[in-house]
Amino acid sequence: MKRLVTYVILMALFLTGCAAPADPDTAQESIQVIAMDTAMLITTYGEHSVTAAYAAEDVIRDLEAKLSRTDPDSEVSRLNAAGGETVSISQDTFALLRLAERCRMKTEGAFDITVAPLVAAWGFAGGEEYRVPSQEELDALLPLVDGSAVFTDSRSPEGEEYKTSGDYEGEWTCTAALEPGQAIDLGGIAKGCVSDLIVRVFQEYDIPRANVSLGGNVLAWGTRPDGAPWRVGIQDPARAEESGAYAGILELTDSFAVTSGGYQRYFEEDGKIYHHIIDPSTGCPADSGLTSVTVVADAFKTSQPWMGALCDAYSTALFVMGEEKALDFWRGCRDLEAEEPLFQLVLVTKDGRVLITEGLADRFTLGEDSGYAYEVVS
Ligand code: ADP
Ligand code: MG
Among 277, 278, 294, 320, residue to substitute to test ligand 1 (most atoms within 8 Å of Cβ): 277
From ligand 1's centre to the CA of 66, what distance in Å?
17
Does ligand 1 have an atom closer than 6 angstroms to the CB of 194?
Answer: no
C-alpha to C-alpha distances, 293 to 176, 260, 309, 311, 344, nearest whole angstrom: 31, 5, 15, 10, 11
Does ligand 1 have an atom closer than 6 angstroms to the CB of 278?
Answer: yes
Does ligand 1 have an atom closer than 6 angstroms to the CB of 185?
Answer: yes
Q: CB-based contacts of 282: which residues, under 8 Å, 6+ apart?
A: 138
Does ligand 1 have an atom closer than 6 angstroms to the CB of 115?
Answer: yes
Strands 272-275 and 230-235: unpaired
Strands 373-377 and 353-357: parallel
Per-residue pLDDT of the chain (378 residues), as tens digits, is: 445 444 444 444 444 444 445 555 677 999 999 999 999 999 999 999 999 999 999 999 999 999 999 899 999 999 999 999 999 999 999 999 999 999 999 999 999 999 999 999 999 998 789 999 999 999 999 999 999 999 999 988 777 777 654 455 667 899 999 999 999 999 999 999 999 999 999 999 999 999 999 999 999 999 999 999 999 999 999 998 888 899 999 999 999 999 999 998 999 999 999 999 999 999 999 999 999 999 999 998 878 889 999 999 999 999 999 999 999 999 999 998 888 999 999 999 999 999 999 999 999 999 988 899 999 999
From ligand 2's centre to the CA of 77, what distance in Å?
20
Whole-angstrom distance, CA of residue 26 vs CA of residue 15: 20
Whole-angstrom distance, CA of residue 196 vs CA of residue 311: 10
Residue 228 burial by CB count (10 A; 0-12/13-18/19+): exposed, middle or buried? exposed
Whole-angstrom distance, CA of residue 160 vs CA of residue 224: 46
Beta bridge partners of 177: 151
Does ligand 1 have an atom closer than 6 angstroms to the CB of 286?
Answer: no
Nearest to 319 by CA among 251, 237, 375, 242: 237
Q: CB-based contacts of 55: which residues, under 8 Å, 6+ apart?
A: 201, 204, 205
pTM of the model: 0.92
